[in-house]
């Protein structure tokens, strides 16, 4: 395990995680996601990897039609939301904390 100290005021690129609302456009829809790094930590922000994977799915790189998907450690759930908007797929998303969160099933 490694600890990486940071300061919120530095130009390290973490400021975007402290914005309370992020807006995205995928699958001809506008998606707004609330973020709360300060109180909920790393699971409550939209990571760049989620944006890249959502773009990859939107490009049609993966056939979603007629498939089911489980997004473990979904965090804010952007990828699962995009997948559900792209095709009528059964989506299940989970995010674990010390307290179990309710599993959400998204359908188009």
CATH number among 3.30.479.10, 3.40.50.150, 3.90.226.10, 2.60.120.260, domain 15-106: 3.40.50.150
Tell me which of 20 and 68 has the higher pLDDT.
20
Tell me which of 2 and 79 has the higher pLDDT.
79
Instruction: Give the Cα separation of 100 and 28 in Å (integer).
Output: 33
Average pLDDT over the chain reads: 76
Mean of pLDDT values over 27-31 = 92
Residue 106's pLDDT band, with cuts at 50, 70 and 90, is: very low
pLDDT of 19: 87
């Amino acid at each position: 395990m490694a600890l990486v100290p940071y300061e919120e005021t530095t130009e390290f690129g973490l400021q975007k995680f402290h914005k309370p609302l992020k807006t995205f456009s995928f699958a001809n829809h506008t998606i707004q996601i609330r973020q709360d790094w300060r109180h909920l930590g790393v699971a409550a922000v939209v990571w760049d990897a989620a944006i890249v994977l959502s773009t990859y799915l939107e490009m049609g790189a993966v056939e979603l039609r007629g498939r089911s998907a489980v997004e473990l450690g979904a965090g804010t759930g952007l990828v699962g939301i995009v997948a559900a908007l792209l095709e009528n797929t059964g989506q299940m998303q989970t995010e674990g904390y010390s307290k179990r969160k309710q599993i959400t099933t998204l359908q188009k």
